[in-house]
Each structure stands twice: as C-alpha cells, then as structure tokens.
Chains A and B, each alone.
Chain A
Amino acid sequence: MSTRLLVNSFTYFIMKHTEKELIALKEEVSEMWRLVLSQLEKVKQAFLSNDVELAREVASREKRVDSFELKIDADCENYIALYNPVAIDLRLVLSLIKISITLERIADFADGIAKYIIDESANPESGDLKEDLQVETIFDAVIEMLSDSYVALESENTRLSGKILAKDETVDEIYRNAVKILAEAIRDKKIDAENGLKTMLVIRKIERIGDHCSNIVEEIVFYIDAKVLKHSRNNA
C-alpha cells in the first residue's frame, strides 16, 4: 500500500490511464505545497530580520498560491466527474481538495504576516523579546509540521502523523506563553500597545497555521488508513 502511487519509470509504463491522471493531480498539490513551504520560510526570515523586501516578495507571490488552489479544485472536480473514483482513489481526491484549500489558508496567513512586516509596526523592537516569545521556534515548528506532512503524503506513510500532531501541542504552548509575555511587556511598557497587539496577531496566525497543518495530517490519514481522526481526537 505504501508504495501504491510511488512512481518509477518502469511502473509508469504499465500503469492505467486513470492512475496517471491521479498522479498528475497529486504532483500538482505537491508543487503547491512546496510553494507554500517556501512562503513560510521566507516570511519567517523576513519577520526575524525585519526584511521588508522579502516580505513584499511573499505578498506578491500570494496570487500564485491562489491560482494553484483554483486549478486543483477544477482538476479534482473533473477527475471525479470523468473517472468516478471509489475507495482509495476517491479518498485521495477528496483529501487533495481539502489539502489544497488548507494550503491556501496557510499561505493567506503567511501573506497576512508579510503585510504586518511591510507596515513596519509589528516588530517587537528588542531582540530579547523575540527570543522570549520563541518566535523562531514556533515558526520552525509549523514549518516542520508542514514539511513532515508533505513527506507523509509523498511516501504514503502515516508514521509521521503522531509526531506532527504532537508538534501542534508545542505550538499551542508557545502561543499561550506568548499571550502572557506580551501582556506583561505591554503592562511594563517594554513595547507599545499597538505594536504588542500586532505581534500578538502574528503569533496567533502562526498558531492557526499549526492547526491547519494538523488538519492536513488528518486528511492524509483518512486517505491512507481510511480513519476519520477529526472527531475522535481529543481537542487539546
């Protein structure tokens, strides 16, 4: 099962037409995924080094993500209409639709963060505060979640799912701490209130990215193992 859709040049020849179509669809989503990952990497870089140019680049590439989502949506619709997939094929197409929507949301958050950077008002001035807030850690955590789930889909393997979902706990914890730290910083006038609140919103967006990554993992598990995790998992 795990290597069902792994392509090598030999098996590709003996594959059925419907299977090739499905692989093309999956490849499209992978491409979108890599784009969204690079958006996240760049926005993290821009935020940490306050790089407005880089942030502008992120914002300008948002449209590409959007058009990816539209195209995948249409292609999945076509696939369902023309090939009437069932069982694992149906689950794959359904999860690809949901994953592409989720990826688009994640890219939206990256874009939102980039806009704050461009506004030049969402930066805690002191590097100390950034460190206290563990901004880099929370960024790295969601990036790792997104790239791990990418690997999970590519290798059709759900072993990573536990690790990814556990990472979401870390993200949530950093977020909760950040609330306290920022509240304290604002009270102690280490940071002005507007700046502090905007920083809070950035971290809130990163935390939401983590939640979306969890959703993606659930979709992958649904596709591969046909278990619906969404409603069985305890909300942390």
Chain B
Amino acid sequence: MLETRNIDFYYGSFHALKNIAMEMEDHTVTAFIGPSGCGKSTFLRLFNRMNDLIPNTRLTGECLIDGEDIYHKSVDVTNLRKRVGMVFQKPNPFPKSIFENVAYGLRVAGISDSRFVAARVEESLKGAALWDEVKDKLKKSAFELSGGQQQRLCIARALAISPSVILMDEPASALDPISTSKIEDLIHILKKDYTIVIVTHNMQQAARVSDKTGFFMLGELVEYNDTKKIFLSPEKEETQNYITGRFG
C-alpha cells in the first residue's frame, strides 16, 4: 500500500505540493489528472525518489510504502527503485539489444546467472505482451521497434526487476491510438500483480484504466475518489470544470 501524510514539496522556494495525504491500495490502478504544472508528476516521482535527482528540492511529511518510510535515512535508494518500477512519457529504451534492455535491471543488480536472466527476460516480455512480437529478434536493437513496442519494452524492463509498484508518467502520450489501447489493456492485466499509479493528461484514459482518480490543481489534491464517481458526479466544482473542459 502506498501512503502519504502531510506531504509538502518545494523546488527552491516554489511550493510544488501542498499538504497531500493519500492512500493507494494494493492491486489497484490510481490515476492522477490535472492541468500542467499542478504537481501530479512531482507527486508520482516521490514514490521512487526520482525527485532526489533535482537539486534544491525539499520534502516534508511522510511517504510510506507498505508502512515503511521510504525517505528514512536507512533506505537504500537503488533498492527502493527495484521495488518501484517506472515507465516514462517518451519510450526510452537503451541503445542495446531488446534482450539486454530487459536484462539491464538484473545486470546492474549483479545477477549473472544467464539461465535465470533469460527466463526472467522471457517472462517479463510476456508480461508486457511483447514476447510474440520480438521472440525471434531478441538480439536486434531496441530502436528497431515501433514507438508502441518500445514503450511495452520499457514496461517489460520495469517488470524484470519484480517491483511491487509501477509508476507511469503519461505512458501513452507519445503513442498512436492503437498502441495506446494496447498499453491500456496491459495496465488492466498488470493490475492483478502490481499496484499501478499513472499520470495522464488524457481524461478518457484515466476513466478507462483507473479504479481511483486524484485531481491535482496548483499543488493541491483537490479531489480523490472512485474514478466512476469523479467522472459522473465529482464533489468539487474545480474537478468538474476541469474534466468537462471548462477549466480556466
């Protein structure tokens, strides 16, 4: 379970997240929506501590995964990132073969048993619904794949290190509708085994894939509720104005 308590986050003096408290159950898909710059991506990146890479940031409050404070001094960030996979907006496969892309996380973890790696790669590619398309060209460059396949490769890459949580930062925004719907189907399947948090600008996508939706605006979590409730009868007027396109 992911949980935050009184999260405040600053970029320099800019107050990017304001007192956010939220809980995300295991094996659910939670979508974050909101206008650009509302803090939803920043909030997402708290969970694998990617914000640590940005200089001059400050965090207060608690961010817990299964009850453990992931910002505690004793937490090893690289271990945390093995538990919390991430898929980015633009497919970013490495300039390596398809096989090596998926094996990357295992290799950097120091796993060298080649039979284990091969089995894990196959399993992950199957998990990302890509195996049938690439099984005959695992040695080919990942750049030879289409954009949608590359994104599924990135998902497979994240699955290979057996995370329990997968964060997706606008995973389909650079893809065509068919690739997008494949990613969405995949999210439905992955939900059984993973807790998924997805940031999206596509409202319909949030409605289609998620169980719960959080609406962010100006660094605040305006409304967090069942997706059905948000899209049929949101409680806050700001939410309604945003999802019906009357924002601003």
Contacts and interface: CB of A to CB of B under 8 A. Distances in A.
Interface of A: 1, 16, 18-19, 84-91, 226
Contacts of A91: 232-233
20 contacts: A16-B245, A16-B246, A19-B246, A84-B204, A85-B244, A86-B207, A86-B231, A86-B243, A87-B230, A87-B239, A87-B240, A87-B243, A87-B244, A88-B244, A89-B244, A90-B231, A90-B232, A91-B233, A226-B232, A226-B233
B203 interface: yes
A19 B70 CA distance: 45
Contacts of A86: 203, 207, 231-232, 243-244
Contacts of A87: 230-234, 239-240, 243-244
Given A18-B244, A86-B232, A90-B232, 4 more contacts: A16-B245, A86-B207, A87-B243, A226-B233
Nearest to B204: A84
A90 B240 CA distance: 11
Residue of B231, B240, B245 with most partner-chain A CB within 10 A = B245
Contacts of B204: 84
Nearest to B239: A87
Residue of A1, A19, A85, A88 with most partner-chain B CB within 10 A = A88
B113 interface: no
Chain B interface, DSSP helix/strand/loop, else mixed: helix
Contacts of A89: 244
A16 B207 CA distance: 22
B237 interface: yes
Interface in B197-238: 203-204, 207, 230-234, 237
A19 B244 CA distance: 9
Contacts of A84: 204
A85 B239 CA distance: 14
A88 B245 contact: no
Contacts of B244: 18, 85-89
The 10 closest A-B pairs by CB, nearest first: A226-B233, A86-B231, A89-B244, A87-B240, A86-B243, A87-B244, A87-B243, A87-B234, A88-B240, A86-B244
Residue of B203, B207, B234, B244 with most partner-chain A CB within 10 A = B244
A151 B105 CA distance: 64
Nearest to B207: A86
A90 B244 CA distance: 9
B171 to A, nearest CB: 21
A218 B26 CA distance: 38
Contacts of B207: 86
Nearest to A84: B204
A90 B246 CA distance: 14
A67 B185 CA distance: 41
Contacts of A1: 237
Contacts of A18: 244-245
A230 B31 CA distance: 31
